Chain A
Amino acid sequence: MDWWFFFEVVVGGLLSGVMYSLVALGFVLIFKASGVFNFAQGAMVLFAALTFVRLLEMNIPMLAALGLTMIVMVILAIAIERIVLRPLVNQDLIILFMATIGLNYFIEGMAQLVWDSDVHVLNLGIDEYAGFEIGNAFINKFDVWAALIAGVLVLILSLFFRYTVIGRALRAVADDHQAALSVGIPLRTIWIYVWSTAGLVALVAGVVWGSKLGVQFAISTVALKAIPVLIIGGFTSVPGAILGGLIVGCGEKLAEVYVGPFVGGAIENWFPYMLAMVVLMIRPQGIFGEKIIERV
């Protein structure tokens, strides 16, 4: 066995896993604060990336485009809270889940209607094929950058959660909606914050994925990869999302390289799901998730 090659696969897997974590992070934020599994996160990634890239194409400077896109994502969050979440408050979570599937379709349609459905090249100034070697293993430079960006984002979010007033309120809401309401935390405002934050995370994820794959419809399906990540890591845990992403990224690459050739390849599509199923059977709440206790 070529151990350098194995090392290369593992590192490549871990780095691409970080990119999954990036998408999963958006899910975790919303789930933590509202118990809603937001199926539309993928569509939000697409929408953010498309908005950003089209603004760039209008020769708006990068920072201004970034700022404008952020504003758009906040407006989207406010609209979602007002139009979708508020009327559905106190409904079964499964109803809310299905509503986000509807939202997913709506945003996907809107993103492509407002902008377009072509493939846009997003160049952040990093050559996506360049890399360096450690021993005999080739490491992709772009992936390292993506991992760094994800790392910084996680750090910022953790600090935000821990040290700001809003962050504390978010954690309170996540623990107990009723209790949070009773001490005067406005739930609706919190939801807007959370969905906005998830929108910003979607923007970061969209920019990173967009510059790797090109900004196109396909990046909204990246969200489907994030679901097993969540199952494995636990829906309520930020570190869980990171670890889950690493496990999925690494696992699927290893499976593809070492098992794939024997079964016809392309097992990347379902392997994470099978892994997630195994986790579900053994530990339904995921690695970092809180144990679900049902009272009789």
Chain B
Amino acid sequence: MFYRESGQFKTSYKADQAILPIFQDRVAMVFMLLVAFVVIPIFANDYWLGSILVPFLVLSLAALGLNVLTGYAGQISLGTAGFMAVGAFAAFNLQIRIPEVPFLLAFVWGGLWAALVGVIFGLPSLRIKGFYLAVATLAAQFFIEWLFTHFDWFTNHSTSGVITSPPMEMFGISFDNPLNKYLLVLAIVVLFAFAVRNLVRSEIGRAWMAVRDMDIAAEALGINLMKTKLLAFGVSSFICGVSGALWAYVFLGTVEPQAFDIIRSFEILFMIVIGGLGSVAGAFLGAGFIVLLPILLNNLGTLFTGGQVSTGTIAHIEYMVFGAFIIFFLIIEPNGLARLWQTGKEKLRLWPFPY
């Protein structure tokens, strides 16, 4: 009843091409932003802000980055965590060597390095596709992890191989408490989500999707496959790099290269498969799912067995549930939670008529 576009006639293509053409969607977006920026900071406690919402947002950002590459441009990557590591270590090294650099600039620096590395490891995508490409990105994953572990220049010769992020301060505000950290991450993530949404609905996004859906036809329309794919690698890795820097600076504080291992890469791939390939909202839904599921399982375990179940057992069940959900979503709805949401909206729009 309430979700109707009838009566909302577009009188110009300009209005039809707005980022959210339907009025109710715009209202919903404003509402969500209000909740995120105002309501949550008022009501959430430090545990929720620091231990659940911050990692959720940072991982959403990584998933968003991967979704640009895999969901929109169709190039599968198993090296996401590697690109995140590049972002984190590049940002750290810039600030360690030039302490005057503001931390936001260091994040951009980290993103740029990740983009560069992403483009280099994306080069094989010009000749190979599918899981062959996945292998090339695995090479990136293992190589980057090894590089940061074995050359202590990157960790500023720290004997433990661990880096500690410098304190974050800007305009006299210190981002050292969970609330400020949350707001910082939120602002960055919203900015990127907005940018990606814009990209995918304009010329670049169409080029990416064209390459994903039918590369031969894309070429026949004059789309340069090489440039388009490498741009996807660059943009995607930039976003992953920034999220890696956030992971190190905002969430963990102290980081070793193993924080960005292949398991993290898989985790982010799972997020976009479950959330929805080729969807901005999907990155958030998927990240929410993956972050909350272990917490839910833990609580259920405690609830039903009174804490008798070992954490190991819960971890194994978690593996199985993740695996099962991946398969489930691929079978039932390859476009993930976001697509289910879309279908729901379409039904709502037509309600009470089935068609």
Interface residues of chain A, those whose CB is within 8 Å of chain B, are: 37, 83-84, 87-88, 91, 93-95, 97-99, 101-110, 112-113, 117, 224, 227-228, 231, 263-267, 269-270, 273-274, 276-277, 280-281, 284, 294, 296
Q: Does B313 contact A (CB under 8 A)?
A: yes
Q: CB-CB < 8 A to A102: which residues of B?
A: 270, 273, 322-327, 330
Chain A residues, Cβ within 8 Å of B334: 91, 95
- Offer 10 A-B interface pairs, CB within 8 angstroms, sorted by A: A88-B331, A102-B323, A105-B320, A107-B323, A109-B316, A227-B135, A274-B143, A281-B124, A281-B127, A296-B216
Q: Tell me which residues from 111 to 165 in chain B have a Cβ below 8 Å from any Cβ of chain A.
A: 124, 127-128, 130-132, 134-136, 138-139, 142-143, 145-146, 149-151
Question: What count of chain B residues pass the 8 Å CB interface test?
Answer: 42
Asked if B317 contacts A277 (CB within 8 A), the reply is: no
Which residue on A lies nearest to B219, using beta carbons? A296
B142 contacts A103, C-beta separation under 8 Å: no
Contact with A270, one of B146, B269, B312 (Cβ below 8 angstroms) = B146
Which residues in B have their C-beta under 8 angstroms from that of A37?
131
Across the interface, do B132 and A99 meet the contact criterion of CB distance under 8 Å? no
Residues of B close to A296: CB separation below 8 A: 216
Q: Kindly list the 3 A-B residue pairs having the minimum CB-CB distance in the complex, ordered from nearest.
A: A102-B326, A109-B319, A106-B323
The minimal Cβ–Cβ distance linking B269 to chain A, given in whole angstroms, is: 7
Q: A99-B330, A273-B135, A280-B135 are in contact. Are A113 and B317 (CB under 8 A)?
A: yes
How far in angstroms is the closest Cβ of chain B from A296? 6
User: How many Å lie between the Cα of A111 and that of B224 in the bound state?
Assistant: 47
For A100, give the chain B residue with the smallest CB separation: B327
Is the beta-carbon distance between B146 and A109 smaller than 8 angstroms? no
Q: Looking across the interface, which residue of chain A has its beta carbon closest to that of B126?
A: A281
Contact between chains at B273 and A98 (CB < 8 Å): yes
Give the residues in chain A near B131, CB-CB below 8 Å: 37, 93-94, 97
Q: Would A280 and B325 be within 8 Å (CB), given that A88-B331, A274-B139 are in contact? A: no
The CA-CA distance from A107 to B331 in the complex, in Å, is 18
Q: Is B23 an interface residue (CB 8 A)?
A: no
Nearest Cβ distance between residue B191 and chain A, in whole angstroms? 29
- Chain A, Cβ-Cβ closest to B326: A102
Of A93, A99, A274, which contacts B326 at CB under 8 A?
A99
Q: Are B269 and A280 in contact, with the CB atoms below 8 A?
A: no
- Are A269 and B146 CB-contacts (below 8 A) given A280-B128, A280-B135? yes
Residues of B within 8 A of A (CB): 76, 124, 127-128, 130-132, 134-136, 138-139, 142-143, 145-146, 149-151, 216, 262, 266, 269-270, 273, 312-313, 316-327, 330-331, 334
Q: In the complex, what distance in Å separates the CA atom of A248 from the CA atom of B319?
A: 30
How far, in whole Å, are A227 and B145 apart by their CA atoms in the complex?
A: 18
Given A102-B330, A265-B150, A276:B135 Cβ within 8 A = yes
In the assembly, what is the distance between CA of A296 and CA of B151, in Å? 48
**Do the beta carbons of B142 and A270 come within 8 Å of each other?**
yes
Chain B: minimal CB distance from A235 (Å): 9
- A-B residue pair count with CB separations less than 8 angstroms: 126
Distance of A57 Cα from B318 Cα, bound (Å)? 27
Q: A109 touching B127 by the CB < 8 A rule?
A: no
Bound CA–CA A267/B142 (angstroms): 9
Are B136 and A277 in touch, CB under 8 angstroms?
Answer: yes
User: What chain A residues lie within 8 Å of B325 (beta carbons)?
Assistant: 102
Assuming A99-B330, A117-B312, is B150 touching A276 (CB within 8 A)?
A: no
User: Whose C-beta in chain A lies nearest to the C-beta of B149?
Assistant: A266
Which residue from chain B places its CB closest to the CB of A94 in the assembled complex?
Answer: B130
Least CB distance, B198 to chain A, in whole angstroms: 27
Which chain A positions have C-beta within 8 A of B316? Answer: 109-110, 112-113, 117
Contacts of B135 in A (CB 8 A): 227-228, 231, 273, 276-277, 280
Query: Shortest distance in angstroms between A266's beta carbon and chain B's nearest beta carbon?
Result: 6
Inter-chain CA distance A276–B316, complex, in Å, is 32
Are the C-beta atoms of B319 and A108 separated by less than 8 Å? yes
B260 to chain A, nearest CB (A): 14
* Contact A109–B139 (Cβ < 8 Å): no
**A109-B323 CB under 8 A given contacts A95-B334, A280-B124, A280-B128:** yes
Question: Is B138 within 8 A of A88, CB to CB?
Answer: no
Q: Which residues of A contact B149 (CB under 8 A)?
A: 266
| B320 pairs with A106, CB closer than 8 A | yes
Contact of A269 with B142 in the complex, beta carbons under 8 Å: yes
**CB <8 Å contact, B132 and A284:** yes
Q: Quote the shortest CB–CB distance from A185 to chain B (angstroms).
A: 25
CA distance A224 to B265 in the complex (A): 14
Q: Please indicate the chain A residues that have their CB under 8 angstroms from the CB of B317 in the complex.
A: 109, 113
A224 to B137, CA, bound (A): 13
Closest Cβ–Cβ distance, residue B212 to chain A (whole Å): 10
Is B319 within 8 A of A105, CB to CB? yes
A93 touches which one: B130, B216, B269, B318 (CB < 8 A)? Answer: B130
Q: How far is the CB of A293 from chain B (nearest CB, A)?
A: 13
- Complexed CA–CA distance, A144 and B142 (Å): 29
Q: How far is the CB of B38 from chain A (nearest CB, A)?
A: 38
**Max chain B C-beta neighbours (<10 A), residue from A97, A102, A109, A277:** A102
Q: How far is the CB of B132 from chain A (nearest CB, A)?
A: 6
Contacts of A93 in B (CB 8 A): 130-131
Question: Looking at the complex, which one of B145, B270, B327 makes contact with A103 (CB distance below 8 Å)?
Answer: B327
**How close is B241's CB to chain A, nearest CB, in angstroms?**
20
Q: Which of B136, B262, B270, B330 interacts with A95 by CB under 8 Å?
A: B330
Of the residues A101, A227, A269, contact of B266 by C-beta under 8 Å: A101
Residue of B with least CB distance to A116: B312
Q: Are B322 and A105 in contact (CB under 8 A)?
A: yes
Report Cα–Cα, A83/B331, bound state, in Å: 10
Is B132 in contact with A231, judged by CB distance below 8 angstroms?
A: yes
CA distance A106 to B266 in the complex (A): 13
* Interface core residue of A97, A105, A108, A284 (most chain B CB under 10 Å): A105
Residue pair B322, A266 in contact (C-beta under 8 Å): no
Question: Do A224 and B136 have beta carbons less than 8 Å apart?
Answer: no
Q: How far is the CA of A156 from the CA of B100 in the complex (A)?
A: 67
Chain A: minimal CB distance from B307 (Å) = 18
